[in-house]
Amino acid sequence: MKRTPATILREYGPFPCVARVNGVTYDGAHVWIATDDALAAIDPASGKTARKLDVAAHAGTAFDGRRLYQIAGDRIQTIDPESGRVIATIPTPEGGASGMAWADGTLWVGQHRARKIHQLDPETGAILRTLESNRFVTGVTWVDGELWHATWEGDESALRRIDPESGEVLTQLDMPAGVGVSGLESDGADTFFCGGGASAKLRVVRRPK
């Protein structure tokens, strides 16, 4: 495993009237953050909130190119980003989940304390595959065929690239002590967006080449 310190390029927040940043996703124009009782679209150029959707947003968030997916307790909501309407729901694996990502027609859902990542059918919630981790899983993202997940235990947090077949850790970026990652999303290129939990911040971390 290649292990290096994470390079934080930028911080946004703390955002006004936001107690926590939970899940994070990116639609190509805005970074969406889950803030318990709303999804907020952040302009990455200015760091300002462009709009909000009043939906339960307790953990991971994902975007499939048309729709948003949001973990709310024991269910995953499919949301129309234009109207904010919940158009479908499926159960979360085993009743709970943390991070979430979209890739190749399926959802990848992290389970925090169970230390697992499940690949799900987005229509039914059926578990297609499960990867085991030796750390808490707090965020999941795919970029260029690479599967990354965030960890956060105590004062230690990291971003890990893992083998999508075996779960073996290939690369680890260690965050500074006390800086947690509660949600993870790639911009599709050379940076990650990282939710900061109760700090109410969003951080940008360089993706290694």
Q: Quick one: three-class SS letters along the chain?
A: CEEEECCEEEEECCCCCCCCECCEEECCCCEEEECECCEEEECCCCCCEEEEECCCECCCEEECCCCEEEEECCEEEEECCCCCCEEEEEECHHHCCCCEEEECCEEEEEECCCCEEEEECCCCCCEEEEEECCCCCCEEEEECCEEEEEEEECCEEEEEEECCCCCCEEEEEECCCCCCCCEEEECCCCEEEEECECCCCEEEEECCC
**Banded model confidence at residue 160, pLDDT cuts 50, 70, 90:** very high
Write down the CATH number for the domain with range 2-206.
2.120.10.30
The whole model's pTM is what?
Answer: 0.95
Model confidence at 125, in pLDDT bands (50, 70, 90)? very high
Give me the residue spans of the domains in the chain: 2-206
pLDDT at 24 over 90: yes
153 pLDDT above the threshold of 80: yes
